Amino acid sequence: MALEKWTSYGVTQDGITFMETTLVWDTRLKKIVDKSSKLLIPEAELERRKAAMEPVPLYR
């Protein structure tokens, strides 16, 4: 079994890294075999930031 580990980070509009997500990919089965996420800031801080976010237009 050949496994690859991928890590991605969620970043706020002002550059604060708030979440880390790790995936383990099985190259033979071609599917995700494990996924985990962890919050890097307190939950209350994340909710406060989400409430203060400005919408970003997809098309101008």
What is residue 52's predicted lDDT score, i.e. its pLDDT? 83
Query: 22: phi > 0 → left, psi -120 to 50 → alpha, else beta; which?
Result: beta
- One digit per residue, the tens of pLDDT, for the chain of length 60 reads 799 999 999 988 778 899 999 999 999 999 999 999 999 999 998 888 888 887 878 886
Pairing of strands 31-39, 17-26: antiparallel
Parse the chain into domains and list their residue ranges.
Answer: 3-44
> CA gyration radius for the chain?
16
What's this model's pTM, rounded to 2 decimal places?
A: 0.68
Per-residue tokens: 23: 């995936």
Distance CA 47, CA 7 (A): 23
What is residue 46's predicted lDDT score, i.e. its pLDDT? 86
